[in-house]
């Protein structure tokens, strides 16, 4: 079905191979010099151009010096249930390096490059910025993984950073579809027990959980989810021992946040400030979460309680009335708000840029 958010006939651009098998699509203008790059990373189930609000960002950047890139990863589309953040961010690093080399060959310099993550793409952005560089893990279940050095980026944006664990807790409290809360809780207990047993027996291989069970607690019925990824997402030992994917839960301690948000400064992979936007009416955030309060805690951790100034105070905040992906019919104003904040942030990266009067 034709999407109302993308122009009839498609959008012009260039398809790039940044590895032999992975591609990034650049929305670019032939009439404007665009040496700078905004690289967008979608959430679980996303791939090339599947997040509809990016059409607004692409249109707003068309007359600027910034071109917009969207990419696919090994974990894109239905692959996320077998993926993990180390592989994601290694592949993002390869894409960043490719874009920098490409822009340098075309314009004589690589220009500025900003990462922008949506939903689980925000987990990728934070993982990129705070983990050791290169990654130090040697996962037995992904034995062919080769870590790469992650290039420094000029800026980073996280939008709709949500907790997959708290989303599951909401399902267990309220049910999902035709599944009652009591039934969801029973299914979850089975899945957790199966996953832990499988991991305990052999860490060299991953095992796919039954689709007949994962689909009853909110996961797509056509998407395989491995035992390892399931435990990472639902993180049953949190908040004391959070899994890799549990970066944004509201009950994580300030001490733990200091090891994630607070480690951005230590890694020195971000040249300028971190921008974070939360959707005000995000369906993936339970009603018990204080969005403003959580943003404040993330800001304090990022800035080491005022000792540093890494958090972007001007362009971060809650988007009034915004749904998770700003894809509903009533999202015109939230989308305008998001675009205004993104353009303002890009202008803060380099005030000399031509933003075509879009601020």
CA atoms of 195 and 206, how far apart (whole Å)? 9
* Mean pLDDT to the nearest integer, 201-207: 88
**R_g of the chain, CA atoms, integer Å:** 20
Residue 357: its pLDDT value, please? 38
Contacts of 279 (CB under 8 A, 6+ apart): 159, 160, 285, 318, 319, 322, 323, 324, 326, 334
Residue 12: its pLDDT value, please? 87
Contacts of 122 (CB under 8 A, 6+ apart): 43, 158, 159, 160, 161, 248, 276
Q: Decide: 206 and 81 in contact? Cβ < 8 Å.
A: no
Predicted confidence band of residue 3 (pLDDT cuts 50, 70, 90): low
| Direct distance between the N- and C-terminal alpha carbons of the chain, in angstroms, rounded to an integer | 32
pLDDT over 90 (residue 116): yes
Residue 358: its pLDDT value, please? 42
CA atoms of 83 and 46, how far apart (whole Å)? 13
Q: Provide the whole-model pTM.
A: 0.95
Q: Decide: 153 and 96 in contact? Cβ < 8 Å.
A: yes
Other beta carbons less than 10 A from residue 265's beta carbon: 17
25-37 pLDDT per residue, tens: 999 877 789 999 9
pLDDT over 80 (residue 353): no
Q: How many helices (H) and strands (E) does the chain have?
A: 11, 8
In degrees rounded to 5, what are phi and psi of residue 208? -85, 130
Q: Decide: 221 and 211 in contact? Cβ < 8 Å.
A: yes
166-193 pLDDT per residue, tens: 999 999 999 999 999 999 999 999 999 9
CA atoms of 142 and 146, how far apart (whole Å)? 9
CA atoms of 55 and 49, how far apart (whole Å)? 8
CA atoms of 175 and 216, how far apart (whole Å)? 9
* 185-219 as b/e: b if 16+ CB within 10 A: bebbeebbebbeebbeeeeeebbebebebbbbbbb
Predicted confidence band of residue 5 (pLDDT cuts 50, 70, 90): low
pLDDT over 50 (residue 2): no
* Mean pLDDT to the nearest integer, 8-15: 82
Residue 202: its pLDDT value, please? 85
Predicted confidence band of residue 356 (pLDDT cuts 50, 70, 90): very low
Stated length of the chain: 359
* Beta-ladder partners of 311: 274
Q: What structural domains does the chain harbor? A: 13-162+248-349 (3.40.50.1820), 166-234 (no CATH)
In degrees rounded to 5, what are phi and psi of residue 293? -65, -40
Residue 359: its pLDDT value, please? 37
157's tokens: 């944006």
Helix, strand, coil percent values for the chain (each to nearest 5): 40, 15, 45
């Amino acid at each position: 079905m034709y999407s109302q958010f993308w122009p009839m006939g498609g959008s012009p651009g260039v398809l790039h191979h940044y590895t032999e098998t992975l591609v990034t699509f650049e929305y670019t203008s032939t009439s404007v010099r665009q040496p700078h790059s905004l690289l967008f990373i979608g959430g679980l189930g996303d791939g090339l151009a599947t997040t509809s609000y990016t059409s607004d960002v692409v249109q707003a950047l068309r007359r600027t010096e910034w071109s917009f890139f969207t990419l696919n990863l090994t974990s894109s589309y239905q692959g996320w249930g077998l993926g993990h953040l180390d592989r994601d961010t290694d592949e993002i690093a390869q894409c960043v390096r490719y874009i920098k080399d490409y822009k340098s060959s075309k314009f004589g310099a690589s220009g500025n490059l900003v990462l922008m993550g949506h939903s689980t793409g925000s987990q990728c952005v934070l993982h990129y910025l705070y983990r050791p560089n290169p990654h130090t893990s040697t996962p037995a279940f992904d034995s062919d993984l080769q870590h790469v050095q992650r290039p420094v980026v000029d800026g980073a944006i996280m939008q709709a950073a949500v907790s997959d664990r708290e989303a599951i807790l909401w399902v267990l409290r309220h049910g999902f579809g035709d599944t009652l809360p009591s039934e969801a809780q029973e299914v979850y207990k089975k899945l957790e027990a199966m996953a832990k047993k499988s991991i305990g027996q052999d860490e060299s291989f991953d095992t796919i959980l039954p689709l007949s069970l994962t689909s009853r607690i909110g996961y797509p019925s056509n998407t395989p989810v491995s035992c390892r990824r399931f435990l990472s997402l639902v993180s049953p030992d949190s908040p004391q021992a959070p899994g890799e994917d549990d970066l944004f839960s509201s009950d994580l301690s300030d001490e733990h946040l200091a090891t994630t948000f607070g480690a951005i400064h230590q890694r020195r992979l971000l040249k300028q400030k971190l921008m974070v936007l939360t959707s005000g009416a995000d369906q993936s955030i339970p009603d018990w979460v204080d969005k403003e309060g959580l943003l404040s805690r993330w800001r304090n951790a990022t800035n080491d309680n005022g000792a540093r100034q890494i958090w972007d105070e001007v362009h971060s905040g809650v988007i009034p009335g915004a749904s998770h992906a700003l894809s509903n019919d009533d999202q015109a104003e939230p989308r305008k708000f998001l675009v205004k904040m993104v353009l303002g942030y890009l202008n803060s990266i380099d005030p000399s840029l031509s933003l075509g009067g879009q601020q």
